[in-house]
Structure formats: C-alpha cells, structure tokens
Structure 1
Amino acid sequence: MKKLFTLTILFFSLVAAAQTEDATSSEINENATFQRWAIDVGAGVHKPTRPFVDGYVSTPDLWQADLGVRYMFTRSFGVGLEFGYNNIQSDADASVTFESDYYRVGLEGIVNLGDFVNLKSASSRFGILGHGGIGVGFLTSNARTLTDATDHHLNFTAGIAPQYRVTKNIAVFTDLTIIGTTRNHYGWDGAVLGTEVRGFEGLMINASVGLTFYLGEGTDPADFAQDPIEAKVDAIAAQMEKMAIENADDDQDGVPNYLDRDNTTESGVRVDSKGRAIDMNKNGIPDDMESSLNARYASQSDVQTAINSANAANQNQIKQLINEGYVNVYFRFNSTKPTTYSLGAINTIVQYMKDHPSATATLTGFADEIGSPEYNKSLSERRAKMVSDVLAAAGIDASRLTQNGDGEDASVDKNSTDARQLVRRVTFKVN
C-alpha cells in the first residue's frame, strides 16, 4: 500500500505544478478555450478484499455509487471532490451473514492522461483520466452492532477512467478505482478486529459506469479541448490556405483572383492592375489582339466603309461582304454573350434584313478547340441561338432566321490564344 500512498502524493504534486503552468501560459490564453467544471455520476460493482473477521465476499457485488465534482485548472490538471457509497453483503452460502454500508468523501487530484499520450490526434471523442487522493470513510453494519456505532477510516484512492464524448456537454465513462484504508477497528463484515490494523490493510476495488456533465463557458470540455498551440497552428494553416486560394490566378494574367475584375482574360494579353485587358481605344477589343483580328478579318471601320460604299454603289456588295465572312459576331472564351465590338456586325444584318423584307438568313455558330467536342457543339448552337434572339428583338421576324452550330473550328493553331479568339464566332449567309 506504500505505492498507493506514493501515487496519491504524486497526483497532488502534479496538480500543484499545473497551477504554475496555468500562470506561465497566460500568453496563450487557454483559460477561455474550455469548460472547467464537470459533474461525474456513476454506479457499478465492488469487491472488498480485506479485512474480514467472520464473513467474506468471494465475487464482485452490487451496489456501489459515486458522485464527483471537479474543476480543471488547465486542460491537463485539476482537482475533484468525490462522494461514494458501498453496500457490502455476505455471500448467500456464507456461515455468517452481514450487511454493511460504507460512506466516503475525498479530495482528489485529476490528470488528463489522454492529453499526455496525444489521444486527441486519433479521435476527438475518446479520452482517459487518472485520479487519486485522500479522504475519510464511515462504516456501519445493519446486521451486526459496532461498539462505536460507526467505524471511521482514513482512505487513499487511485483510479483510471476511460471516456467517450457523446455530445458537446456529455460523456460516458468507465472507472476502475482502488481504495486503501487505514485506522480500521472493524472488518468489512462489521466484526471487531483483534487489534487496530496498522498501515493500509483495508482494500476495496470499485468498477463503475457513468455519465459526465460539463459546465461553464468555453467551446469544449477541458477533457477534450484542443491544445492551444495546436489550435494556433491549425488557425495559421487555415489562414495560409485562404491566402493561397485568394492569391490564385486562374486566367494567369498576373493579377490574383481576389483583385481580378475579369477572370477570363486570354493568356498573353496585357492587363491593368485590376485584371482588365488594356483597350486604349475603347472599342471592346484588347489592344494586343487587334493586330491578329485585322490580319485575318476586316476591322469594324473597314467593314463599315465597305458597307457605306456598297450602299452607294450596289446592294449586292453588302450581301457579298456578309456571305464571304466579313461580318461576324465574336464571343469571349466559354461565353454566349456577344462582345461589344460585334454590335456593329449585328446592326449590319438587321439593316440588311429590313432593307430586303423577303431575304432570309442562316446563322452558324462556332467554338474553338478547347473543351470536349460535344460541349463545343452545344456551345456553338447556343451562340447562334443568342444572335438569332438579338435579331428577333431588333424587329426581324424569327421565321426568316435559321440557326445551327458547327462545333469546333479547327482551322487555326489550337495553342494560339489570339487565333482561337478569331474562331469563337457566328457567321451569316443571306438569300
């Protein structure tokens, strides 16, 4: 029993050290992160082993119950006040029958063993507590008469309690506690001992199952609270992940997403500080793409000049310009909304159709090679339908318009962003 006494002294030493730790760790401010108070209610079986005089208990017996109130100075250390009761009855086949009641109260030190073995890294629901302390006990016997009516004991306890957290404020626990007593004048059977027992001759083992209820402010109970340093590491990791997401640059224009006003800018096009393509003449075409467009297709001003000349000379020239692909509606990547600089082309078609009431038009949509063929087929059809809807809204009878989608236009270099801009379009054929 000397080991039991040594273990109890060690528990209280650890609790005292915990108070020092709590003071020195104020800069972490862990005090506000967990619930300090807990109430433990348990019941189960017990096995008193000695001392007995006439009777005995050969198997674990019902009933024993305990109630504990504890307070945690830190996540790892605390103190508790425990109240216990044991009903000790002789075996049914014993020659001497007895029934004794043992009441006890004690002060214990609490150690969160799960915190020391880093159990929370495996699961946030499992825990394990160690406890030990000193107290007093009172033995009475219903079947036998004690000379002093009540036998007073000094007892020492040590135990271990695995836990499982059920809800935020409730946990289930099992507990195994060893109780050693001294100053025994009577045995557990209520019979007087020949002489006063010296040392820790009284011994009882309790096994309990119960519930823990957590009280107080805080996000988690002390038994399951996260280490404050680990919490800071997790917070920093989350912040770094957030920064990585915010500083991502989906369109690779050099402007992070959280500052980018236009996150669909073509690669290689110069942008301003807000990720918008530079367009000095405000014609809706990025300056870095105008030369490529002009190299293959007539510019808006060239088309308008040709149209004006055609109106003056021969209306057939307008039809020729349209049917030979000089009048197109262009689109941004993966978009069905016509670009601003394509409004002139739409206006040209509207004007031609109004000038020729019997004319019909076929609209054909195209997409570049980025993406699956099936998706691009659908995208080209939706582009043609969008332009058809715009013409109808401008006063052209929808029965005069036919639209279809030809899918991908593979006539340009797939790896050239400028070239791909040229094939994202809707063309026209008028009759």
Structure 2
Amino acid sequence: MKKHLLLVITLLSASVVLTAQEKKNEKKADKEFISADVDKEIQGDTYNRWSIEVDFGQSKGGKPYADGYFASDPDKFMGGFQFNHYGIGARYMLSPKFGLKSHLSYDDIKKLPGSRSLDFKVQHIQLTFEGVVNAARLFDIQEGAKRFGMLFHFGIQASQMMPKMNTAAGSNKGRKELNGGIVVGITPSYRIFNNVSVFTDITINSNVRQHFNWDGSYSDRSNNLTGSLFTTSLGLSFALGKGKVHGDWAIIKDKKDKEIDELSNRIGEIETLMNDSDKDGVPDYLDAENNSIAGVAVDTKGRMVDKNNNGVPDELEKYIDKTITNNNNNNTNTATVTNGMLEQLINDGYVAAYFDANKTKPTNASADNIGFVLNYLKNNPDKSVQIIGYADELGSSDYNNKLSGERAQNVKTILTKAGISPSRLTIVGNGIDSSVDKNSEYARRLVRKVIFKIK
C-alpha cells in the first residue's frame, strides 16, 4: 500500500509540474497589470502566479463510525474543537480567474477530549489535486473587495488511513488503507502585505473507497465504501515571484479596454479644445483672450479688436460714442457720460482679471482688462478703485480666503508698478464665489477672478 500511495503522489506531483511548465511557455494573455490597490499604482508589468500555503485547524470524520464512537461532543458549541489538522500546499494561477493547486495534509483524528465517545485514534494523510476559481474576479468585484478575496477549489484526492490503536470495535493498529474521492472547499482571504495574505478554509471530502470507519474499525458493507471528512483551518499564503503583488490582488485591465479608454480620452480632449468659453466664435485652444466681452468683435486669435491701442475695444468705443452723440451734443457732458459708461462697465464686472486654479498670477489673456482699468485711472486721477478677489469652491474656506486676497494683491502690485499710486488702490479678499456649479471645470474658471469697483 505504501507503493500505491507513493505512486499516486508521484503522478499527481508530476501533473502539477508539467501543467505549470506548459503554461509558462504559452503566450501572455492580452492583459496588462495595473496595480494592487485601486488608489495606488504599483510600478511593474507582471504579477506573481505561484503561492505557497500553510494551514492548521481541525478535521472531523463525518461518517462512518462504529457504535459508541463519534467525533463531536453534543454538549459543546459546534460539537467542540481540537487542533488535529496540519497542511501545506502550492497554487499556480493560469490566469487571474483560474488556477491549479495541490495540497498535502496530516490529520490526527481522535476522540474529542471530554466527550462520551470511546477512545480511538486514526492517522490520515491526504494529497489533493484541484482546480481553483478566483470568485472575486469571476464576479468582477475585486476592485470593490480591495484587500478581501474569495477562492473556490474542487478536485480529486487520495489518502491513506492508519489506525494508531486497537479498539473494542476492531484490532487494526498499524494497518493501512488507501482511499480516494472528491474534495470541494471555499477559502475567504485577506491581504496583509502585497505578497502575504491570511485565509480561512472550509473543505469537505467525500470518499468513494473508504474501508475503515473513522474510529479505526472496518466499515460495514452497507456503507458502500463511502465516507466524509470536514476540515476547517486557518493559514497564511506567501506569493512567489519577481512581481510586487500576487495576481489575486492585482488590478488588471484588458488591453482592449485600455485602448477604448484612450480613445475616449482623446475624444474628450478634442471636445475640450473645441469649447468656446467666451462665445466669441474662436475655440479655446486658439483663443488668446478667452474672456472677451460678449458681442465685441475679435480677431482670429479671439482678441478684442483695439486698433488705436487705447485699452477700449473698438466696437465698444463706437457704441459709447454713438450713445453719447445721440443723447447729448455738449462736449463737456460727453466726457462726463463717457466716464460714467466706462465706470459702469468696470463696476458691473464686464472688466475682470482671471486666474488658473490655485494660481495668484493673472492669465495672459487678462492683461487687456487690467490695462483697461489702468487707462481709466490714468485719465481720471481723482478716482480710486477697490480690487476684489475671488476663488472657486474647491478647497477649504481658509485656503480660498487667503488665495482670493493674494490675487487682489497681485493685481494691485501690477497697477502700482504701472504708475498708479497705492493710496488709490484697496484690496478685498472675498473668498469663495459659489454662484456656479462647482462640478463644472469651465464654470469654475469664471469665478477665479478679480473684479473692480470705482470709488
């Protein structure tokens, strides 16, 4: 019987090695390794497939038993517990979802201390060859499960039973019998480190060639050589290989999905480039001044036309002149009305400086608008201006209050260096402007600004 057991073990071990070698020579699947955690990328283009598993726990023979012998204590919760199972195994994942494993275990099946069963003791050595299914990947929940995992395993097993003592039911001490059958189990797990995880395993064995009862006596013919064994255990799994994480935990995307994502990103970029924030007919990617006043003529680069370089767009200047001419032909009053119109444009927010996210320096396109205010102040030396800064809703209130104040201060510095006395300039940091949808990137651009109030 020793020879038979050795032959079975040799054949099963050879099958594991040959299968692993064949898979090693196959082409890589059309997959790409991304990371171990959804929110943390691990650099590398491979993941570990091999793992070594060690476990210990309890094995209980379900049936058959001779009269007076049993494994559980009816007076204890769950029938009682004793450590009598020790195992070691190896697993190789052919793909992120499916793999193979072999497991060698030793069980010391005996009377539960304190139970009313008669004494018995049986040595049980078992070797399994099984298929493995990564349930988390099979049901596509690995990203949500994060560090938790779940494996199903099922296959065939060969074992040797040997009574270690003579009993009233039979004197079979030292005799050995070979068994065979099927095995099925479930293995919940939790990853401690990238290549180390803890697991618990629940396995059921169904024998189809069991001659002995679990107490060591020969089984009755009516049992038809059947028997069952239940094992619960706790163990550690160690991943082997050059990769930084085992395939059980890696986030792996199909390359086709990646190509689709890249195409979607490109389309999104094109849509972004074609946006026209200030609705002047020039796409943002060509627009050198994407905050031009609505209705004012622009050139091919989106800049408001100002041929005489006086800081006032020509079309706006024509509108002011026409309005003034129609309402008053008095030159003195014309100047007053003109200043009033310009002051209204400034105070109503038509003239503003804009900023990129988390920046305190105005965008290049804001130079014309700051120049507009500069020209107004130079032409009206009795006027002063209040410079009011704003920020979008992203970030804390304290941060945005500080940011809006710094934006106002930078605009004041620009005007001061351009020749305006600091005494005519006051700054206010108004913090967050919540008038737009904070989830819209382009809407947020409109509130990262500095506006002006003429005093």
**Is TM (by shorter chain) over 0.5?**
yes
In structure 2, what is the equivalent of residue 263 of structure 1?
290
State whether structure 2 residue 371 is matched by structure 1 residue 340: yes
Quickly say closer, same or farther: Cα 1:36–1:48, change in 2 above 3 A.
Answer: same
Contact 2:312 2:372 in 1 (8 A): yes
State whether structure 2 residue 136 is matched by structure 1 residue 106: no
**Percent identical:** 24
State whether structure 2 residue 174 is matched by structure 1 residue 153: no
Contact 1:36 1:71 in 2 (8 A): yes
- Length-normalised TM-score, structure 2: 0.58
Residue number among 72, 86, 91 corresponding to 1:70 in the alignment: 91
1:137 aligns to what SS in structure 2? strand
Give 1:232 deviation, angstroms.
Answer: 5.7
In structure 1, what is the equivalent of residue 397 of structure 2?
none
* Superposed CA offset, 1:330-359 (max 9, x none): 866333976435655555567xxxxxxxxx
* Superposed CA offset, 1:180-201 (max 9, x none): 23444433223345779865x1
Quickly say closer, same or farther: Cα 1:72–1:388, change in 2 above 3 A.
Answer: closer
Tell me, in whole angstroms, the C-alpha distance in 1 between the residues paired with 2:427 and 2:208. Answer: 99
State whether structure 2 residue 204 is matched by structure 1 residue 178: yes
- Length-normalised TM-score, structure 1: 0.60
Quickly say closer, same or farther: Cα 1:272–1:168, change in 2 above 3 A.
Answer: farther
Unaligned runs of 5+ in 1: 1-11, 299-305, 307-316, 351-360, 368-374, 406-423
Tell me, in whole angstroms, the C-alpha distance in 1 between the residues paired with 2:195 and 2:120. Answer: 41
State whether structure 2 residue 58 is matched by structure 1 residue 45: yes
Tell me, in whole angstroms, the C-alpha distance in 1 between the residues paired with 2:414 and 2:32. Answer: 66
Tell me, in whole angstroms, the C-alpha distance in 2 between the residues paired with 1:327 and 1:387. Answer: 26
Aligned-residue RMSD, C-alpha: 5.1
Tell me, in whole angstroms, the C-alpha distance in 1 between the residues paired with 2:427 and 2:158. Answer: 94
Superposed, 1:350-389 pairs within 5 Å as: 361-363=382-384, 386=412
1:268 aligns to what SS in structure 2? coil
In structure 1, what is the equivalent of residue 150 of structure 2?
128
* One-letter amino acid of the structure 2 residue matched with residue 205 of structure 1: F
* Superposed CA offset, 1:15-37 (max 9, x none): x9xx99x9799445679565423
* Superposed CA offset, 1:378-428 (max 9, x none): 99xx79x9499739x849695xx69899xxxxxxxxxxxxxxxxxx87768
Out of 176-185 and 112-121, give the one that drifted further: 112-121
Quickly say closer, same or farther: Cα 1:27–1:148, change in 2 above 3 A.
Answer: same
2:384 aligns to what SS in structure 1? strand
Highest Rg: 1 or 2?
Answer: 1
Contact 1:185 1:196 in 2 (8 A): no
Give 1:168 deviation, angstroms.
Answer: 4.7
Unaligned runs of 5+ in 2: 1-14, 35-44, 73-78, 326-330, 354-365, 389-400, 429-450
In structure 2, what is the equivalent of residue 353 of structure 1?
none
Contact 1:34 1:225 in 2 (8 A): no
Quickly say closer, same or farther: Cα 1:281–1:237, change in 2 above 3 A.
Answer: same
Quickly say closer, same or farther: Cα 1:29–1:53, change in 2 above 3 A.
Answer: same
- The count of residues paired between Structure 1 and Structure 2 equals 349
Tell me, in whole angstroms, the C-alpha distance in 2 between the residues paired with 1:274 and 1:397. Answer: 34
Quickly say closer, same or farther: Cα 1:285–1:154, change in 2 above 3 A.
Answer: same
* Superposed CA offset, 1:101-122 (max 9, x none): 3222222111233434444486
1:263 aligns to what SS in structure 2? coil
In structure 1, what is the equivalent of residue 247 of structure 2?
221
Contact 1:154 1:182 in 2 (8 A): yes
Superposed, 1:268-307 pairs within 5 Å as: 268-272=295-299, 274-295=301-322
Quickly say closer, same or farther: Cα 1:94–1:402, change in 2 above 3 A.
Answer: closer
Tell me, in whole angstroms, the C-alpha distance in 2 between the residues paired with 1:218 and 1:388. Answer: 53
* Superposed CA offset, 1:142-197 (max 9, x none): 44485655443334211123445566545454432111234444332233457798
Tell me, in whole angstroms, the C-alpha distance in 1 between the residues paired with 2:339 and 2:299. Answer: 33
Tell me, in whole angstroms, the C-alpha distance in 1 between the residues paired with 2:321 and 2:286. Answer: 31
Contact 1:172 1:211 in 2 (8 A): yes
Quickly say closer, same or farther: Cα 1:53–1:75, change in 2 above 3 A.
Answer: same
